[in-house]
Structure 1
Amino acid sequence: MTAEKERLRRQALDWLASLSPQDRRAGDDALFRRFLSLPQTQAAQVLLLYCGMGTEPDTLRLLPPLFSAGKAVCLPRCLPGNQMEARLVQKDSQLVRHPYGMLEPGLDCPVIPAEQIDLALIPGLAFDRSGGRLGRGGGYYDRWLTGFSGITIALCRDGLLLDTIPRLPHDVGVKLVITETSLYGPSALEQGKSGA
């Protein structure tokens, strides 16, 4: 199964590398419109986002509309042992560059326990229609999500929505997968909103 995940990771990265900056920007625009219009996003008071890097959606663009809507927004900070924590950021918070390349909150930003967060936006290279997630292999989110009971949402480009992603026992999926054109996952099926 590990070899299959590596094959899917390479396939996803190759597909992402083929996108033009204009394609990525247009895809981001569609994903962000759908995310911000979700009832779950509008109802959430405290959200965890991530800082998209490289070919990932440029999720920092979501901060201004969420701040304008009066939301409290957290970003992840990596810890030793492939652990992470959520820290609250403000409009004027200075983000610092992690050695892996992503931006994260500084130590001056307060830690917010997982149980105080209503909604978490979870990154991934690819997803499937049932909420299965293909991460980058570090396990940071799988570990953090074991203590999280709120709603989990993923932004997935249409071209990276797969039929099935193999799951190991420790792999944690998401409740909703948003693509540029549809909504998938167990929660979407319950609401009769599947993109099928």
Structure 2
Amino acid sequence: MMNKKEIRVYVREQFSMLASEEREKRGREIHGELFGQSFWKQARIVAVTVDTYQEIPTRPIIEKAWREGKTIVVPKVDRERHQLDFYTLTSFLHLENGNHGLQEPMPSKCEQIAKENIDFVIVPGLAFNRAGYRIGFGGGYYDRFLENYQGKTAALAFSFQLFPSLPIETHDLPVHHLVTEQA
């Protein structure tokens, strides 16, 4: 079995070889799967990151949520406290360049939302197994956030991000649902 570093390198290579048109096409397939799920339909406040090139496109998810009257919250990394704070996002114009190359909410234009008010979290990651365990980007921020989170969780993954087994540590928590272009 590959170690976490090798898995991260492999998945990043796969993303770099994926043409943007193919990424968008396969992303739409995953979005269709997600939007058909009961946990999506029932959620009122949805947490999601604004994607980088190494993730499933999330802007269409955010736009669909807005059209459906859902509240979207996006994370801002608090490096001093080593945690994520989530803020409402009502416009892509309220984003700024943040930590780790992420687009993060501007606290001056967005309202902070408490963890217990979030119904559903789309958890980012680089690699996943069918049991819902994941390898993230290496900061441990989502692992800490999910420790006592009570709502529903899901991860979105292209087929090349799925592995039969992953190195799992005692603090790792699986997501409830894994959504891929292969259903």
- Shorter-chain TM range is over 0.9
* Secondary structure at the counterpart of residue 78 of structure 1: strand
Query: 1:164 corresponds to which residue?
Result: 165
Whether the 8 Å contact between 2:66 and 2:72 is mirrored in structure 1 is yes
CA distance in 2, matches of 1:60, 1:145: 23
Q: Cα RMSD over matched residues?
A: 1.6
Partner amino acid, structure 1, of 2:120:
L
Whether the 8 Å contact between 2:77 and 2:99 is mirrored in structure 1 is no
Query: 1:31 corresponds to which residue?
Result: 30
Query: 2:182 corresponds to which residue?
Result: 181
Partner amino acid, structure 2, of 1:18:
M
Query: 1:22 corresponds to which residue?
Result: 21
How far is 1:146 from its partner? 1.2
Query: 1:145 corresponds to which residue?
Result: 146
Query: 2:156 corresponds to which residue?
Result: 155
CA distance in 2, matches of 1:89, 1:9: 29
How far is 1:99 from its partner? 3.9
TM-score, structure 1 normalization:
0.87
After superposition, the C-alpha distances for 1:63-114 in whole angstroms (9 at most, x for unaligned) are: 2211111101100000024311111111365101114211111112111111
Whether the 8 Å contact between 1:115 and 1:147 is mirrored in structure 2 is no
Q: Report 1 or 2 for greater relative contact order, CA contacts < 8 Å, sequence distance ≥ 6.
A: 2
* Overall identity of the aligned pairs, in %: 27
After superposition, the C-alpha distances for 1:127-160 in whole angstroms (9 at most, x for unaligned) are: 1000010111100100111131111100000121
Query: 2:66 corresponds to which residue?
Result: 67
Partner amino acid, structure 1, of 2:9:
R
Structure 2's unaligned 5+ residue stretches are none
CA distance in 1, matches of 2:128, 2:181: 13
* Secondary structure at the counterpart of residue 40 of structure 2: helix
* Secondary structure at the counterpart of residue 116 of structure 2: helix
Query: Do structure 1's residue 135 and structure 2's residue 119 form an aligned pair?
Result: no
Partner amino acid, structure 2, of 1:60:
R
CA distance in 2, matches of 1:173, 1:100: 23
TM-score, structure 2 normalization:
0.93
CA distance in 2, matches of 1:159, 1:92: 29
CA distance in 2, matches of 1:91, 1:7: 37
Structure 1's unaligned 5+ residue stretches are 183-196
CA distance in 1, matches of 2:84, 2:93: 19
- Name the CA shift for 1:139/1:22 in 2 (closer, same or farther; >3 Å): same
CA distance in 1, matches of 2:32, 2:144: 29
List structure 1 runs of 4+ shifted beyond 2 angstroms: none
